[in-house]
């Protein structure tokens, strides 16, 4: 799969199935119909980073296929991965596809702590870090193809790569996007 090679070349961890997931389960239940456990899809990691006065997800833009699991890993600081679904955490708007439910990791404070979410519904998902939303810590995941309420606009709290750029590149690192 050419897209997976792009992910590996970009320094993003991408493994098939359950490989490397021992001990990575989250104690934070997902209220949605989607699962936070590995499926038959691939697993990809998004780092949650504090670096000086910068707070960001890396990659900031990520393409996955339906059924893939994304692991959000706390690199440093205290962060969350929270979907923009009205009423979910601090979200006042919904920016996930119709039929997709909210996900929220809760705040992860320990280094290397993880939260996993399996994306089943096709479309564009915008998400944020609860403690750093006002500082622009937002990210975007495109599942299969762009679409939904996030398409064609930016999240209210920061900028993310355009969905088509994410689809074309497979992943957009924070440094490439912000630099």
Cβ-based neighbour number of residue 18 at 10 Å: 14
Which uninterrupted H or E stretch holds 118?
Answer: strand 114-119
The order of strands in the sheet holding 61-64 is: 82-83, 123-128, 138-143, 61-64, 171-172
Q: Confirm or deny that 129 is annotated as ligand binding.
A: yes
Q: Confirm or deny that 154 is annotated as ligand binding.
A: no
| Residue 42 CB contacts under 8 Å (≥ 6 apart), including other chains | 4, 14, 15, 16, 17, 64, 65, 68, 69
Query: Which residues are documented as binding site?
Result: 129, 132, 137
Query: Which residues are documented as binding site for Cu cation?
Result: 129, 132, 137
């Amino acid at each position: 799969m050419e897209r997976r090679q792009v992910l590996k070349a970009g320094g993003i961890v991408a493994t098939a199935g359950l490989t490397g997931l021992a001990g990575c389960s989250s104690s934070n239940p997902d209220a949605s119909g989607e699962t936070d456990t590995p499926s038959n899809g691939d697993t990809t990691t998004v780092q949650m980073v504090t670096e000086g006065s910068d707070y960001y997800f890396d990659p900031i833009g990520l393409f996955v296929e339906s059924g893939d699991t994304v692991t959000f890993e706390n690199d440093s600081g205290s962060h969350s991965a929270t979907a923009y679904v009205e009423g979910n955490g601090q979200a006042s708007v919904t920016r996930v596809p119709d039929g997709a439910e909210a996900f929220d990791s809760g705040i992860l404070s320990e280094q290397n702590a993880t939260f996993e979410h399996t994306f089943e519904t096709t479309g564009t998902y915008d998400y944020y870090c609860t403690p750093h939303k006002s500082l622009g810590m937002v990210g975007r995941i495109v599942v299969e193809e762009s679409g939904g309420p996030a398409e064609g606009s930016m999240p209210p709290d920061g900028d993310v790569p355009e969905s088509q750029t994410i689809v074309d590149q497979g992943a957009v690192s924070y440094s490439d996007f912000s630099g």
